[in-house]
Structure 1
Amino acid sequence: MFDLIDLKAVLLIALIFIPLERLLPLHGEQSATRRHWLNDVFYLLFNGIVIKFGILLVIGATMLLVQRFVPEALTAAVQSQPIWLQAIEALLVADIGFYLAHRAFHAVPFLWRFHAIHHSIEEMDWLAGHRVHPVDQILTKSASLLPLFALGFSGEAVLIYVLIYHWQSVFIHSNTRIGFGPLKWLIASPQFHHWHHANERQAYDKNFAGQLPFLDLIAGTLFMPQGMPEKYGVDEPVPQLYHQQLVYPFAAAAEQAAPIADASPAAGKPE
């Protein structure tokens, strides 16, 4: 279900983060085999192929339309820049796309049901970042990558962004107490993203950026007090098994729509 390169990446990530969480834990009492960890291993191993296919489909179809509206002079200007500068710009452009999509998944009730799967994690660690519904991941990643392809960023610059995204995604969810000092306002850290997952009223709908916290500072959605959250997760009853989580957003939407349909004037009328 996944290729050899993916397997090597999984093993490398595990070899780095499992010891790191033992040496520098944020919550020292948390077990490496915390609740529902096998469910998140399943996400890690088998969710990727669905997401890759979905992203290719969405970006491929959208690019057919977008390319018509992007001036060739703009893509030529982007491609003429050195790789290091393209990589910096790609990181900024992609994270703006990520921020907007991520915020939409919190603001729109139907989209939130997909994103609630990710927020249902109650113990943060290196596996937590992999618990993401395919629809959520496909749309959010597409919002990040589509501008890069549309603007003509080089394959090398896009690859650099993708590598940074994947490694930082694991890191910011990890059960570690590593801090960045004053750089925490520039680079996303566990402190920044753990507060996004906090089940505390003042932290709701905060810290949407993936890599660049100053985007939240500019948008007025930054929340990074001293200390770290004590409680994570959501109050709604999200199921905890992979197959149940895949259908949960659709089942929840259908359940909410049923009373509305029953209460409509036409409901119950004989045909």
Structure 2
Amino acid sequence: MDIFGIKALLISALIFIPFEHLFHERPQKTFRKGLGVDLIYVLFNGFIIKVAVVLIAAYTLDAAAIVVPQSMMRAVGGQPVWLQVAEIILITDIGVYWAHRAFHKIPALWRFHAVHHGIEELDWLGAFHSHPVDAIATKAISLAPIFFLGFSDASIAAFSVIYFWHTLLVHSNLRIPFGPLKWLIASPQFHRWHHANQREAYDKNFAGQLPLLDMVFGTYNATGNKVPEKYGVDDPIPSSYFGQVGYPLMPRGKLSKPAVPSTET
């Protein structure tokens, strides 16, 4: 088992680095600012999150065995795999949407999520650049219902592969026209406008995979082909991995963030 995700990292690099060089959204060096820290995130966070997911699954399955009727779990797990995967994508992304929105709206949670938004040069490696507390909490909220309801191992495995590659894609520095699919599937253009440090991007595009959720809840930002002027946050996020991990716990004044109070539902 590749517990540190080294194989996945190498395969991803072989795919994304050449494509980002040929079809980039904005000019950016491969060995860009923060690359070394992002590699540490891949190795350390990859291991920590794998352990966390195993624990989440174990505790959730124990609870499900007590609470959920076996007939219901058999019915859910007995559906065609493709249908289960579609259901998992919907259920998990609802969890991701609301967890993500909470991490923006609640100041104590924003301190952890600000680490992810501190990325100033966005590419595929940005998918790994999240504070462990942020990543684990979001995984717990989005995945617990999947284990609880009894989806099959095959469907969860298929979803995991789709989610991994799609997450790298939406963080990538690729200019890919999605056409009408942009309303159904989150694109790099959709997500880079979540990372933009510009007023029109504040508190927008929270969904991980399904832009429809942002449309339904009033947080969709349609940007056409515009390219963000800049990424990042206004606060001086530490440049080192351990500095960033400790950043949310450091005493300081009120954090500024790429979000403003809104009246949207």
Asked if these proteins are the same fold (TM beyond 0.5), I'd say: yes
What is the CA–CA distance in structure 2 between the aligned matches of 1:119 and 1:65, rounded to whole Å?
35
CA shift, 1:248, in A, is: 0.7
Q: Is the 8 A contact 1:106 1:112 kept in 2?
A: yes
Match of 1:118 among 116, 119, 140: 116
- 2:236 paired residue number: 237
What is the CA–CA distance in structure 1 between the aligned matches of 2:103 and 2:242, rounded to whole Å?
21
What is the CA–CA distance in structure 1 between the aligned matches of 2:245 and 2:69, rounded to whole Å?
40
What is the CA–CA distance in structure 2 between the aligned matches of 1:68 and 1:200, rounded to whole Å?
48
Superposed, 1:102-117 pairs within 5 Å as 102-117=100-115
Match of 1:86 among 84, 87, 92: 84
Match of 2:189 among 179, 188, 191: 191
- 2:10 paired residue number: 11
What is the CA–CA distance in structure 2 between the aligned matches of 1:79 and 1:175, rounded to whole Å?
37
SS in 2 for 1:47: helix
- 2:33 paired residue number: 35
Q: Is the 8 A contact 1:179 1:190 kept in 2?
A: no
Superposed, 1:1-271 pairs within 5 Å as 3=2, 6-28=5-27, 30-65=28-63, 67-226=65-224, 227-251=226-250, 254-256=251-253
What is the CA–CA distance in structure 2 between the aligned matches of 1:53 and 1:249, rounded to whole Å?
22
Query: Residue by residue, what CA displacement relative to the aligned partner does 1:182-207 show, whole Å, maximum 9, x if unpaired?
Result: 10010010010000001011211111
Q: Is the 8 A contact 2:205 2:220 kept in 1?
A: yes
CA shift, 1:5, in A, is: 8.4
Q: Is the 8 A contact 1:196 1:204 kept in 2?
A: yes
Tell me: CA distance 1:4–1:118, structure 2 relative to 1, closer, same or farther (3 Å). Answer: closer
Residues 189-198 or 158-167, more deviating: 158-167
SS in 1 for 2:5: helix
CA shift, 1:62, in A, is: 4.5
SS in 2 for 1:246: helix
CA shift, 1:256, in A, is: 5.0
What is the CA–CA distance in structure 2 between the aligned matches of 1:14 and 1:38, rounded to whole Å?
14
Letter in 1 for 2:217: A
Equivalenced residue count is 253
What is the CA–CA distance in structure 2 between the aligned matches of 1:219 and 1:69, rounded to whole Å?
31
CA RMSD after TM alignment: 1.8
What is the CA–CA distance in structure 2 between the aligned matches of 1:101 and 1:210, rounded to whole Å?
11
CA shift, 1:255, in A, is: 3.7
Q: Is the 8 A contact 1:43 1:131 kept in 2?
A: yes
What is the CA–CA distance in structure 2 between the aligned matches of 1:5 and 1:45, rounded to whole Å?
5
Q: Percent identity?
A: 52
Query: Residue by residue, what CA displacement relative to the aligned partner does 1:110-129 show, whole Å, maximum 9, x if unpaired?
Result: 11111100000011111111
What is the CA–CA distance in structure 1 between the aligned matches of 2:128 and 2:193, rounded to whole Å?
18
What is the CA–CA distance in structure 1 between the aligned matches of 2:4 and 2:133, rounded to whole Å?
24
What is the CA–CA distance in structure 1 between the aligned matches of 2:181 and 2:15, rounded to whole Å?
22
Pick the structure with greater CA Rg. 1
